[in-house]
Amino acid sequence: MAFGGWLLIATSGILSGVTAKGHPPPVLVICGFVVFGGAILLLQFWVTCPKCSRRLGQTIAMPVAFGGKKAPNFCPYCGVSLDAAMP
């Protein structure tokens, strides 16, 4: 979702055709910001450890977004496996 919102911001001028003033229409840019910001907020507050309930959004977001490092499959705070089935 965050990548889609970012892509919408970046391509809003191309998608709609740049207006005579040379700026993309603000509606598309605002939609992109809302989607991007909503995805980041969801990641921050919704992705939590099932055992200790600490927020894992920041821990997981960067490796997933940039793909350089493998996202951790365990909670860095309590060590519970994030791949195991929940009780």
Chain residues binding Zn ion by CB under 5 A are 49, 51-52, 75, 77-78
Shortest Cβ 20–Zn ion spacing (Å): 54
Nearest distance in Å: CB 50, Zn ion: 8
Quote the crossing angle between the two packed helices 26-46 and 2-16, to the nearest 10°.
180
Distances (CA, A) of 42 to 15, 24, 75: 27, 27, 18
DSSP SS3 for 59: helix
Q: Which is nearer to Zn ion, 11 or 81 (CB)?
A: 81
- Nearer Cβ to Zn ion (6/77): 77
